[in-house]
Structure 1
Amino acid sequence: MAGPGGFPTRGVWRRPALRWVDVLVGAALVALLYGLVRLAPALNAPFLPGTAPSTVSTDPSHLPYYAVRSLVRMFAALALSVIFTFVYATAAARLRRAEKLLLPVLDILQSVPVLGFLSVTVTAFINLFPGSELGLECAAIFAIFTAMAWNMTFAFYYSLVSQPREFDEAARMMRLTKWQRFWRLDVPSGMIPLVWNGMMSFGGAWFFLAASESISVLNHKYALPGMGSYAAAAIRKGDLGEVGIAIAVMVVLVVGVNAVFWRPMTAWAERFRVEESQAPERPRSVVLDLLRRSSVPELIRRPLRPLGAALDRATRPLGTAEHPLTTTTVRERMGDVFFAGAVSVVVVFFAWRALDYVHTTVGLAEFGYALALGAATFGRVVVLIAAATVVWVPIGVWIGMNPKVTRFAQPVVQVLASFPANFLFPLAAAVFLALGIPLNAGAILLMALGSQWYILFNVIAGAQAIPFDLREAMRSFNVGGPLKWRVFILPAVFPSYVTGGITAAGGAWNASIVAEVVDYDRHHMQATGLGAYITSATEVGDFPKILVGISVMSLYVVLANRLFWRRLYRVAESRYAL
């Protein structure tokens, strides 16, 4: 059949044939939605604090259901962390006055252990949803969120403050609104470090899954169905067989999440790399290839495009993106003084109330005792960071600068980093007991299992971000050996290392709450340190000591960040930003 002019018209208006890749992607999407709908009633199950179960069944047949419940909590916390990162990091990077407040607050939030958040939020969430398990679910998700958000926020903040000046000038010349600049410049330029640190934060959150699902706080014990609560119950029973089953299931979960989610994300993020030369080999993902070949993502994206255009129009009254500010007027200085004064008044008021509360309960001398315990934990953190730097910086550079190595090493590193090391604590306790190793020394190793990976992942991301034209220039000039490390590699990865170091230090302080107290069967091992102090106070519901412990831990972390890590940040911004 021919139309006017003799051109064939057969099949012109025929719909595209249904392809197998569309069927596969559509079936996976339907299965995901169906699973969430079936799971929703369990999240809102009846709940009475006085009769709530304090443990879960360790029957292995329940593990598939527990795994799904834990994955839902993890991804819900990840979504909240991304939203928080976008809002908080952007405000800290773009609002000059707010930065002076938001960064110290972020230091404090990073230093507060998961148990510290749980001791305050569990009762609040239960009262927010009375008679429903949804309150306890929200508390668990919030606890996992606190283990993810800070590292991602630091990474995205650094990507914003280290943007090349020409990007800012281009945004001004194109008259982009603040909303357009955020989605077309800020997010793409920070996508690679955000994805890598999101992957690391997701892995670090597995470490605190047991504390988030098997909650022992304020003399109450609550247990939610999940892999963390299953492992906690198996560890309390001292059944190494059930602990081994939990470890095997966790390995499957970590590998599956890496293959289905994080591997596609890292491959997709490569599109935002800015460089003049092409990488010899880029990360690939079978899942991402399937999504790119399928028309299902486009069918989902198409109805959302008018919404994006409407948001662009709606945000134009906010004005164009003009950052950074280049002038400082007398009015701005007066505003700075007023802002600093208001913040100081609020801080002094709450500090005085806290001191008065501690003075009337356990006495101010408790701060001196907690400071001494904090010195012991601080020593462990210093040893851990120094050892992790020496070991993982060369390995991270080797992985990040060799695409073929990255392809094979990334899944292995992801499994090691994502595996909840506290699942291995019973085995470690058995080894410590057999060899006579005190937990005061062994706690360093246990803390390292949950925090050293921040340095490795950030160094890998920093090495991968080095433009290939600079690498080719080093090869052209025959620069190698120690000189190449001193003038090229170490300066290039230094900003990423600082991000990894500050988050690894914060992660080590957080890990101390589970690493300095280890229970296995009838054995109880406890190290001398601030983490053990906070854990003991949380379990018995001694809120004054919880307040003292968290305050002292925050003091140590903030001072270390202010006196050491922030200075390294300034050096990285001024001398080593690519």
Structure 2
Amino acid sequence: MIQLPDSFSYIRGRETLARAQVLKRSWPFMLDLCVAAIGLACFYGVVVIAKYWFGHSEPEIVISQSPRALPLYAFYSVVRIGLAYLLSLVFAVGYGYLAAYNKRLEALMIAGLDILQSIPVLSFLPGVMLAMVALFPTRQIGVEMGAILLIFTGQVWNMAFSFYSSIKSIPRELSEAANIYRFSRLQRLVQLELPYAAIGLVWNSMVSVAGGWFFLMACEMFVLGPRDFRLPGLGSYLQTAAGTGNGVAIAWGLLAMVSIIVATDQFIWRPIIAWSDKFKFEQVESKARIKSPLLHLVQNSTALRSLGRLTTAPLSETLYRRYAQERQQRLAQSSSGSTSRPGSPWLRVLISVLAVVVVSYAAFHALGLLREVRFAQFKEILKGALATFLRVNVSLLLAAAWTIPAGVAIGFHPRLARIAQPIAQIAASVPATALFPVILLALIRVGGGLGIGSIALMMLGTQWYILFNVIAGAMAIPSDLREVATLFRFTTVQRWKTVILPGIFPFLITGMVTASGGAWNASIIAEYFRLKNQTLQTVGLGAQISAATDSGQFQILLLATMVMALMVVTINRLVWRPLYRLAGTRYKLEG
């Protein structure tokens, strides 16, 4: 006997289906409205920043400690860090690409990168700030550009190292495939090098932005000889609150900063990490994929997909076709024996001569300042260099002891990563100088002092370079290698020895190099600290650089910076550079 469906249930099911279809059709429209609202908000933000930057320069800005000023201060700081990051990303990709493929300049460029990452932010401060103010003497944009460039010097170096290391470790079969299909340079960059470097670049971008927050207090409020530079922002708010001992204002500032960091993690970094997971180099599909609801919504936006289909796709195809045709013409000209651009060698020689003349002139006048340094001051600088060297290495060893196992655990377990990643991002981004008074007072009570406290502050500022690079390395290990280790029932020691350490080795070296440079850089804050109306300092090179900046003794600043750069470059040449070569040969991932 056939039983007919109940009419009420049938009608109710049809209504549910109709609602689902209406929701399915309306949701992309709502998503497009959200995208449009974000675009309008960004446009309004650009207008606000333009009015402020191109207004008249204010001689002295009073930093308010009222919580009502925090939204505007937070907006200014986010804009500075965002622009500094975009500048860092462009520089890192260009510099790393040129260093990886130009054999003549590679050694010089990597040595220059070693020197630049070892120079503290305060050593860049006099030249950068005075130059920007001189370019825009009557506009606020001069001081703003100086602060952005100073934040840039605290963000860019580990990103450049990461991209360079990724290019050098591209598997041979991928490079051969690109050569077989005759990829142009642009096509090779977009379809091979950037995707392969994506995971490392994303995680180093996170730690770079965290480094920008770390040095925000030094970049938004500082003293340069008789001049006092202040910019409205979260960094200057926290530094003013810490200087006056206003615990309530410090709490409000940290709460605002943590809120921004959490929002950045949820709306920017988490979708980007989920997107970059598709670039993992593996031969079998991973069972556990990182997911992001926001990325899913953005990828299913009708407006964004139409925009990509109508603009990005045709433009990329046109550029690829054009560069392919130009390459074919160059190959045809070289095979026929014709030469092109006969004047280009002379142009390169002229540019090289001009560069040598400019650098020699600047170096001669800079070294002229060293004549004012007395022998007693030189001895104090060497003594401080030894003390800072010991603190840097102790902090590096202590940081590596916990970040390596923690980073591997986070990279291997996506569920743990969803919990630990925001926590690590928050911890890395909160300026250690805001927490340092509490740490310092606690150490003084137990019998310690700034000498030990400076090691703690160095760790707070540099351990994240190792952690985030190890996480990126663990995530980049192919799933098939991990499954083979499980299939053959490797012990924990065997798994670490044959899979984990070789897999993360290139990322680990990048993290250790940048953490070492970051520790030297953090010494300017760790060894010279203002607490209320007191200035606490200990024997060290960073303390001498900070004191010389405050007093305007540029000869001491120059000599201390040169000694610090020389020590870092020597360590990189003797230790890190051989390990980089080992990572690019023995531990290079091949199919």
Aligned amino acid, residue 33 of structure 2: V
Alignment partner of 1:52 out of 53, 60, 63: 60
Q: Deviations over 1:81-140 (max 9, x none)?
A: 111011100000000011021101111110111111111111110111120000111001
Q: Does 1:532 align with 2:543?
A: yes
Q: Which residue of 2 aligns with 1:178?
A: 185
Report the identity percentage.
40
Q: Does 1:83 align with 2:95?
A: no
Aligned amino acid, residue 46 of structure 1: H
Q: Which residue of 2 aligns with 1:119?
A: 126
Aligned amino acid, residue 287 of structure 2: P
Distance, in Å, in 2 between the alignment partners of 1:130 and 1:314 is: 44
Q: Does 1:292 align with 2:299?
A: yes
State the secondary structure of the residue aligned to 1:281.
coil
State the secondary structure of the residue aligned to 2:461.
helix
- Aligned-residue offset at 1:347: 7.2
Distance, in Å, in 2 between the alignment partners of 1:457 and 1:169 is: 30
Q: Does 1:33 align with 2:40?
A: no
Alignment partner of 2:490 out of 474, 479, 498: 479
Q: Which residue of 2 aligns with 1:453?
A: 464
Please tell me whether the aligned partners of residues 299 and 305 of structure 2 are also in contact (alpha carbons under 8 angstroms).
no
Q: Which residue of 2 aligns with 1:68?
A: 75
- Aligned-residue offset at 1:344: 8.9
Please tell me whether the aligned partners of residues 151 and 197 of structure 1 are also in contact (alpha carbons under 8 angstroms).
yes
- Aligned-residue offset at 1:237: 1.0
Q: Deviations over 1:164-209 (max 9, x none)?
A: 1112211111111111111111111111100110111111111000
Alignment partner of 1:270 out of 256, 277, 283: 277
Q: Does 1:227 align with 2:234?
A: yes
- Aligned-residue offset at 1:438: 1.2
Alignment partner of 1:370 out of 364, 371, 381: 381
Sort the Cα spacing of 1:366 and 1:299 in 2 relative to 1 into closer, same or farther, 3 A. Answer: farther
Alignment partner of 2:369 out of 347, 351, 357: 357
State the secondary structure of the residue aligned to 1:221.
strand
Aligned amino acid, residue 356 of structure 1: G
Q: Does 1:164 align with 2:168?
A: no
Of the structure 1 ranges 276-285 and 90-99, higher mean CA displacement relative to structure 2 is found in 276-285
Distance, in Å, in 2 between the alignment partners of 1:296 and 1:147 is: 37
Q: How does 1:458-469 map to 2 (within 5 A)?
A: 458-469=469-480
Sort the Cα spacing of 1:110 and 1:139 in 2 relative to 1 into closer, same or farther, 3 A. Answer: same
Aligned amino acid, residue 61 of structure 1: R
Please tell me whether the aligned partners of residues 147 and 205 of structure 1 are also in contact (alpha carbons under 8 angstroms).
yes
Q: Which residue of 2 aligns with 1:140?
A: 147
Q: Deviations over 1:333-368 (max 9, x none)?
A: x99xx99x9899987776555433311x22466444
Q: Deviations over 1:498-535 (max 9, x none)?
A: 01000001111111111111212133321110001000
State the secondary structure of the residue aligned to 1:276.
coil
Q: Which residue of 1 aligns with 2:20?
A: none
Please tell me whether the aligned partners of residues 77 and 145 of structure 1 are also in contact (alpha carbons under 8 angstroms).
yes
Please tell me whether the aligned partners of residues 29 and 302 of structure 2 are also in contact (alpha carbons under 8 angstroms).
no
- Aligned-residue offset at 1:388: 1.2
- Aligned-residue offset at 1:152: 0.3
Q: Deviations over 1:236-261 (max 9, x none)?
A: 11111111111111111111111111
Of the structure 1 ranges 133-142 and 568-577, higher mean CA displacement relative to structure 2 is found in 568-577
- Aligned-residue offset at 1:418: 1.7
Please identify the structure whose Cα radius of gyration is greater. 2
Distance, in Å, in 1 between the alignment partners of 2:411 and 2:254 is: 28
Please tell me whether the aligned partners of residues 58 and 230 of structure 1 are also in contact (alpha carbons under 8 angstroms).
yes
Alignment partner of 2:316 out of 305, 308, 316: 308
Of the structure 1 ranges 478-487 and 539-548, higher mean CA displacement relative to structure 2 is found in 478-487
Q: How does 1:146-545 map to 2 (within 5 A)?
A: 146-301=153-308, 302-313=310-321, 315-316=323-324, 319=327, 353-359=365-371, 361-363=372-374, 366-545=377-556
Distance, in Å, in 1 between the alignment partners of 2:225 and 2:578 is: 39
Distance, in Å, in 2 between the alignment partners of 1:365 and 1:177 is: 58
Distance, in Å, in 1 between the alignment partners of 2:584 and 2:281 is: 18
Please tell me whether the aligned partners of residues 112 and 510 of structure 1 are also in contact (alpha carbons under 8 angstroms).
yes
Distance, in Å, in 2 between the alignment partners of 1:43 and 1:175 is: 47
Distance, in Å, in 2 between the alignment partners of 1:394 and 1:345 is: 50
State the secondary structure of the residue aligned to 1:524.
strand
Aligned amino acid, residue 369 of structure 2: Y
- Aligned-residue offset at 1:222: 1.2
- Aligned-residue offset at 1:29: 2.3
TM-score of the two chains, using structure 1 as the length reference: 0.90
Distance, in Å, in 1 between the alignment partners of 2:188 and 2:422 is: 34
Distance, in Å, in 2 between the alignment partners of 1:307 and 1:347 is: 40
User: Where in structure 1 are there 5+ consecutive unaligned residues?
Assistant: 1-15, 323-333
- Aligned-residue offset at 1:314: 5.1
State the secondary structure of the residue aligned to 2:155.
helix
Distance, in Å, in 2 between the alignment partners of 1:41 and 1:473 is: 60
Structure 1 stretches (4+) deviating beyond 6 angstroms? Answer: 341-349
- Aligned-residue offset at 1:568: 1.0
Distance, in Å, in 2 between the alignment partners of 1:134 and 1:354 is: 28
- Aligned-residue offset at 1:37: 1.9
TM-score of the two chains, using structure 2 as the length reference: 0.88
Please tell me whether the aligned partners of residues 357 and 544 of structure 1 are also in contact (alpha carbons under 8 angstroms).
yes
Sort the Cα spacing of 1:52 and 1:265 in 2 relative to 1 into closer, same or farther, 3 A. Answer: same
Q: Which residue of 2 aligns with 1:325?
A: none
Distance, in Å, in 2 between the alignment partners of 1:356 and 1:213 is: 31
Please tell me whether the aligned partners of residues 222 and 228 of structure 2 are also in contact (alpha carbons under 8 angstroms).
yes
Distance, in Å, in 1 between the alignment partners of 2:513 and 2:383 is: 22
Q: Does 1:19 align with 2:29?
A: yes
State the secondary structure of the residue aligned to 1:519.
strand
Sort the Cα spacing of 1:351 and 1:38 in 2 relative to 1 into closer, same or farther, 3 A. Answer: closer
Name the Cα RMSD after superposition: 2.4
Please tell me whether the aligned partners of residues 440 and 449 of structure 2 are also in contact (alpha carbons under 8 angstroms).
no
Sort the Cα spacing of 1:379 and 1:347 in 2 relative to 1 into closer, same or farther, 3 A. Answer: farther
Aligned amino acid, residue 510 of structure 1: N
Sort the Cα spacing of 1:373 and 1:319 in 2 relative to 1 into closer, same or farther, 3 A. Answer: farther
Distance, in Å, in 2 between the alignment partners of 1:84 and 1:364 is: 39
Q: Deviations over 1:444-475 (max 9, x none)?
A: 00111010111111111111111010011111
Aligned amino acid, residue 119 of structure 1: P
Please tell me whether the aligned partners of residues 220 and 230 of structure 2 are also in contact (alpha carbons under 8 angstroms).
yes
Of the structure 1 ranges 288-297 and 153-162, higher mean CA displacement relative to structure 2 is found in 288-297
State the secondary structure of the residue aligned to 2:228.
strand
Q: Which residue of 2 aligns with 1:96?
A: 103
- Aligned-residue offset at 1:57: 1.1
The count of residues paired between Structure 1 and Structure 2 equals 545
Alignment partner of 1:546 out of 552, 557, 560: 557
Please tell me whether the aligned partners of residues 81 and 145 of structure 1 are also in contact (alpha carbons under 8 angstroms).
yes
State the secondary structure of the residue aligned to 1:376.
helix
Q: Which residue of 1 aligns with 2:6?
A: none
Distance, in Å, in 1 between the alignment partners of 2:311 and 2:170 is: 32
Please tell me whether the aligned partners of residues 96 and 161 of structure 2 are also in contact (alpha carbons under 8 angstroms).
yes
Distance, in Å, in 1 between the alignment partners of 2:411 and 2:66 is: 42
